[in-house]
Structures are given as C-alpha cells and as structure tokens.
Structure 1
Amino acid sequence: MPPFSWLPAPPAWLLDEARNRLVLLLNHLLQQEPEAQQRLRRYAGRCIVVRAPGLLPAAWAQVGDEPLRLQISPAGLWMQAPMNVAPDLTLTLQPASPAVWLRQALAGQRPAASIAGDVQLAAEVAWLIDHVRWDVEEDLARLLGDAAAHTLVGWGRACAEALRAHVLPGVRAWAQRAAAWRASKPSHTGDGAAA
C-alpha cells in the first residue's frame, strides 16, 4: 500500500492555497537574489508548467495532479498563471516517491526531469536552480537574533550531515541487499515443474 494512501483527498481550495504559499516562498527566495529577479524580468509574461507525478497519493489524483502553473511578472517574480495561458516551458519531474525526492535533496542531487519548450527560458530556470539558495540563517536572525539563528542553523547542518553520512549509506546498502536477495530467488514459471 503506498504511503499516505489512507488519507482522504484534500479539498481543491486547500491545494490551491498550498500553491499560493509555494509561490510566496519562491518569491521570497528571488527577492533575496536581485540578479535572479533581473534575469527573470527579460521573460515577463512567460509561463512555466511544473508537473510532479507521483508526489501525492493516487487517491488525490483528481485534485492533486494538477501542475503548478507559474507566470513571470514584470517585476521578475512568480505568480500563478491562469489556465488559459499556454506554457512556454514544461518541466516534468520523473515519477518517484516523496521519499526518493527527499533522499535526492539530502544528497544534494536534482530530481530527474524532462524539459520541453523554450531553450533560453530553460537555461534561465537552470541558472535559478543552481544559484538561488534560501538563506535560512538570515531569515531566522530577523525572528530570533543572530546568535540563536547561527546556533539553530549549525544544528540543522550537523543533522543533515549526519543523515548524509549515516542514514543514506544504510538505505543504499539495504536496497542493494534487497535487490541481491530478489535476484537470488528462483523465478516462478507457473508450469508446476520442479527445478
């Protein structure tokens, strides 16, 4: 049984509100990087569609598989694009479980994706992914002060490094052992003959 498949599908308004919050977060990141906004201004009005099949449980398909539609504003920020705007770029993350995407993020890897559309816009999006980072410490410092923010971020980095160093190798080793075990089991042909 897939994880979270027992949860009922959320109402459409809740997912729409989650998309609004995601756009606000993305804009917060862009506002911390003026060069990113400047680069995006050149593409004002362009639409990017991001699809992430498999991110949400299958039971949520009717409300959860709608892609994230982003349009670039004249200010170089994101806004939700209307449904009638044709996409200039479509980014489709390859189907994977949320656990796989989390593992890739912890390892500092990008998820596999296919890209279709405007090549120059795709290059700008790739630049954004490579260069725009969330300065968590700066945001926490505004709320808690510099010393507390520095301490919390240090703890977070130590936890992430411990996960990378100890948990990920264990998960990889377990997956390799499971694959080897499956490969060593005789296959069943269904003809009833003994091996």
Structure 2
Amino acid sequence: MESIATRFQPPAWVVDEAQQRLVLFVNHVLMQEKEAQDRLARKKGSVLHVRGGPFGIDLLITPAGLLDRAPVAVKPDLLISLSADSPALVVQSMLAGKAPPVKIEGDVQLAAELGWLAENLRWDAEEDLSRVVGDIPAHALADAGKRVLAALRQFLAMRPGGPASAVSTVNAGPVNDPKAAT
C-alpha cells in the first residue's frame, strides 16, 4: 500500500514556497549562533541535497555561512536522505530528542560540520516570541509548549509497542484511596 506522502503531490508553487520558508527559518536560527555561521562559511560553495521521502531540496552554503537554494542541476557535495520509511518514525525520534535515521553520502568534512550543527544548534523560540508578545507571555508560552512536548513524548513512550509499554502499570484502585497514591 502506498503511503499518503508518496501519493500526495503538492503544486510546484507550494513546494517552492515551502522550500523558501525553510531556508529563511534555518538562516534565522544560524544567525543566532556565530560559531555555526563560521563553521559553514569554511565550506562555502558546497551544495547539499536533503531528501525526506518524495521531497528534496538542494542547498548552497554562502560565503556568509548561511544557506540558499542551489541552482538546478548542480551536483551536490553531500547527500542526506532520511532512511526511515515512515514519517511517523521520523517525528517520533525527533520528539524523543534523537536525530532521525539518515543515510549520508559524500564530503566527510561537510558531514562533520552538519553533525556539529545538529548537535549544538537550537532555535530559541522563547527569544523570538518575546520580541512579539513581551518577555512574560513568551516565557509562559514557551513553558506551556515544553509541557505539551513532554506529555506528547510520554504518550508516545507508553503506547503499545513503545519502550515503556512493557513496564507501565495502571492502578485500578479508587482515586481517594490513600494506599493507591503511594
């Protein structure tokens, strides 16, 4: 049975716009960390192709250590492919704080720099929110987001077949039973 992702083909303009927004977002995150830009600037002119299922994007590293979409028909120096067959597996591993399984081919030094970025570069959503709504609401929203993410991780871990399913138990005693609370 074909997955929905392989059957769904969005219009070219949607793909183009999504890719442009992705590049803008990644550059926004890169600009918050000078070390990340410096590391990428050392590999200026390199092209990487990132593929996830039926979707792919070619990215060019600029002299400023940022990314731009590469011209069509340029041979990539590095190919990164999500090796998970299921998009749900990719999301689950990312929610667990782990990198999704990937297949990497090409420039080893570029792969090492991208590995460093994956381990060390984080988006400070609270900082961006504070510019829009102020510090206190941004902190409250970020805290709520962290709690939702933690609950989602716990839910995924406890589902049948999840890592915690073998050890989780449910206490069927009354809610007001003091013995049930211990």
Name the TM-score class by shorter chain.
Answer: 0.7 to 0.9
Structure 2: how far apart are the matches of 1:134 and 1:158? 17
Query: Contact (CA 8 Å) 2:59, 2:68: kept in 1 or not?
Result: yes
Q: Given the alignment of the two structures, is residue 68 of structure 1 paired with residue 46 of structure 2, yes or no?
A: no
The answer as to whether partners of 2:47 and 2:61 remain within 8 angstroms in 1 is yes
**Is contact 2:84–2:90 with CA below 8 Å preserved after alignment?**
no
Structure 1 counterpart of 2:81: 92
Distance 2:3 2:133 in 1: 35
Q: Aligned with 1:17: secondary structure?
A: helix
Aligned residue number for residue 20 of structure 2: 20
CA RMSD, 1 decimal: 2.2
Q: Pick from 122, 125, 134: which aligns with 1:145?
A: 134
Structure with the higher helix share, 1 or 2: 1
Query: Comparing both chains, which one has the higher relative contact order based on Cα–Cα distances under 8 Å and sequence gaps of 6 or more?
Result: 1
TM-score by length of 1: 0.77
Shift of 1:8: 5.7
The Cα shift of 1:84 comes to: 2.5
Q: Say yes or no: does 1:129 pair with 2:121.
A: no
Distance apart, 1:67 and its partner CA: 1.9
* Gaps in structure 1 of 5+ consecutive residues: 54-64, 178-195
SS in 1 for 2:100: coil
Distance of aligned partners of 1:45 and 1:158 in 2 relative to their CA distance in 1, 3 Å threshold: same
Native 8 Å contact 2:82 2:103 kept in 1: yes
Structure 2: how far apart are the matches of 1:66 and 1:2?
Answer: 15
2:105 aligned to which of 116, 130, 133: 116
Residue-by-residue CA offset, 1:40-95 (whole Å, 9 max, x unaligned): 11111100011112xxxxxxxxxxx3521000001110000012321111111103
Contact 2:156–2:162 (CA under 8 A) maintained in structure 1: no
